Amino acid sequence: MRLLPYLKSTLAVAVMGLAAHALTLLVPQLHVPVLFLAAVVMSAARWGLGPSLLAAFLSVVAGSYFFYSPIYSFRVANLQDLVDLLMFVIVAVLTSRLAAGVRA
């Protein structure tokens, strides 16, 4: 198994996390998962299904830790935020599968 695509997917999620943080300073009601979905789709298109699934997992972890209340905790207090994260996982996995299929 090649490690470099997984590292690049991790970096893509980190870059999107920094971009999301910068945008939250400008736009108070930012829908963060949309930005992370870009990292997932790019990972699927460039490196395949495995790296994109890693990107999806890391995106959910980063989103719940940094952007959903309570901040800096993996606990999600609001039911709507939990539904958002679950929907993100579903969309990210389906999109990863489709983009990886197009790549193949």
pLDDT digits (tens, 9 = 90+) for 51-97: 989 999 999 999 889 888 888 988 888 888 888 888 888 888 888 88
Reply yes or no: is the peptide bond before residue 5 cis, omega within 30 of 0.
no
Query: Does the pLDDT at position 36 exceed 70?
Result: yes
Return d(Cα 104, Cα 102) in angstroms, integer: 5
